């Protein structure tokens, strides 16, 4: 990435030598990423990150459907990332029908999905994330896709000439899954998949959207027609190169990292259980090991998180995207009420004493021990068991 930044400053759309060199690096990176998810290079589109990928997938597919059939329906889960929930909300304001599937304690309501698909012939898109970003729930994307494709096949049998006979499309936000879980697109059965670089240790500001061949999306921004006309704007080649290299490194030992991080997650939860009788584990055993969510009633997460931060230990109450503190003066602490916990079936007050610990492929046992010791001291202070 550093080499690309220093030596390859050309615009990949230019026809001169420096531009061609930049384009070669970009296309090699596209091939690398495509191979890692079992896709074709021409199905990969670079974006600025997961948020843009989600916006483009949802809005682009729905605009394409609307051009053929008029406004239809979108089905999503109740626990999606804000870049999905707010995009779907915008569609509803524009006249689309939207439905949210319950996912209490991580159990996605597939029965309701099947019923909605049977009752409606105007479902343009079903979008469900692969891994819930706050609680680590793993949703059954293969089952979701199978239901949707079964419905599409039934539609084709009754009206094969309809322009919308290939709908509903299936989109998954795989930002928390890529590089950590197996996300082969043909195995999942998805038509659209969003993922990004910084969740696997790559540079921020770069992501990708997988679009299955034959899937029509409308662009949401006019410009120079880069990325095959889908996403205009000069591509950030150094970031793209860094993205591909981070993905290559991460995916090379994905299975080994998964096992090791799973052991560290158990170490955290077992250590907390030994120290705190009231421990409530919010995550599921079959969830992503990279996200550890738990609650300790009686503690104040804003106090505990601040005390740990002063020691250089960074944890949170939920995700950064759902707890933006843009309106909070610097030097003060406030944990925003995360709606996710309530929608997942937890008590209304649960958010006040909930903690989220993120693990990565580089996390060590020593770091986990340090965290457990520091967290214990901070939590006991918050509980009033220690002075000051």
Decide if pLDDT at 95 tops 50.
yes
Decide if pLDDT at 185 tops 60.
yes
**125 falls in which pLDDT band (50, 70, 90)?**
very high
Q: Is 321 a catalytic residue?
A: yes
Decide if pLDDT at 110 tops 60.
yes
What angle, rounded to 10 degrees, do the helices at 50-69 and 82-93 form? 30
Query: What percent of the chain clears pLDDT 70, i.e. is strictly above it?
Result: 90
Q: Are 69 and 121 in contact (CB under 8 A)?
A: no
Q: 216 versus 228: which is more confidently predicted?
A: 216
135, two tokens? 């609680």
Q: Kindly name the residue from 148, 251, 321, 360 that is annotated as catalytic.
A: 321
Let me know if 188 is exposed, middle or buried by CB neighbors in 10 A (0-12, 13-18, 19+): buried
Check residue 6 and give its pLDDT. Answer: 62
Where do the domains of the chain lie? 1-249, 254-383
Decide if pLDDT at 378 tops 70.
yes
Q: 196 versus 231: which is more confidently predicted?
A: 196
Check residue 383 and give its pLDDT. Answer: 93
Check residue 46 and give its pLDDT. Answer: 98
- Write phi, then psi, for 95 (nearest 5 degrees): 110, 0
Topology given in CATH for the domain delimited by 254-383:
3.90.1150
Average pLDDT, the chain: 91
Q: Determine the average pLDDT of the residues in 74-101.
A: 97
Q: Which CATH entry fits the domain spanning 1-249: 3.50.50.100, 3.40.50.2300, 3.40.640.10, 3.30.420.10?
A: 3.40.640.10
Q: Are 49 and 83 in contact (CB under 8 A)?
A: no
């Amino acid at each position: 990435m550093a080499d690309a930044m220093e030596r390859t400053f050309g615009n990949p759309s230019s026809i001169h030598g420096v531009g061609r060199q930049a384009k070669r690096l970009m296309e090699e990176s596209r091939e690398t990423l495509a191979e890692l998810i079992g896709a074709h290079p021409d199905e990969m589109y670079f974006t600025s990150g997961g948020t843009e990928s989600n916006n483009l997938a949802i809005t682009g597919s729905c605009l394409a459907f609307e051009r053929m059939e008029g406004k239809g329906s979108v089905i999503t889960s109740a626990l999606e990332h804000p870049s999905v929930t707010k995009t779907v909300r915008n569609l509803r304001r524009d006249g689309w029908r939207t439905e949210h599937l319950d996912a209490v304690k991580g159990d996605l309501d597939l029965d309701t999905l099947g019923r909605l698909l049977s009752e409606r012939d105007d479902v343009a898109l079903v979008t469900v994330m692969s891994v819930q970003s706050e609680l680590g729930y793993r949703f059954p994307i293969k089952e979701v896709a199978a239901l949707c494709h079964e419905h599409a096949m039934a539609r084709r049998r009754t009206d094969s000439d309809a322009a919308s006979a290939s709908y509903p499309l299936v989109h998954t936000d795989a930002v928390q899954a890529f590089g950590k879980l197996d996300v082969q697109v043909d195995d999942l059965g998805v038509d659209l998949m969003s993922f990004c670089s910084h969740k696997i240790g790559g540079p921020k500001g770069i992501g990708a959207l997988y679009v299955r061949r034959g899937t029509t999306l409308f662009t949401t921004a006019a410009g120079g027609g880069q990325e095959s006309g889908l996403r205009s704007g000069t591509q950030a080649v150094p970031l793209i190169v860094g993205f591909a290299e981070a993905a290559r490194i991460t995916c090379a030992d994905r299975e080994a990292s998964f096992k090791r991080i799973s052991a560290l997650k158990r170490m955290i939860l077992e250590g907390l259980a030994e120290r705190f009788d009231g421990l409530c584990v919010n995550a599921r055993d079959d969830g992503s090991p990279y996200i550890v969510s738990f609650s300790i009633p009686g503690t104040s997460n804003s106090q505990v998180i601040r005390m740990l931060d002063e020691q250089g230990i960074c944890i949170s109450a939920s995700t950064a995207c759902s707890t933006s503190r843009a309106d909070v003066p610097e030097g003060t602490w406030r944990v925003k009420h995360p709606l996710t916990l309530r929608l997942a079936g937890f008590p209304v007050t649960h958010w006040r004493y909930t903690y989220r610990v993120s693990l990565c492929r580089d996390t060590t046992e020593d770091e986990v021990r340090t965290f457990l010791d520091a967290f214990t001291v901070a939590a006991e202070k918050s509980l009033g068991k220690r002075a000051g």
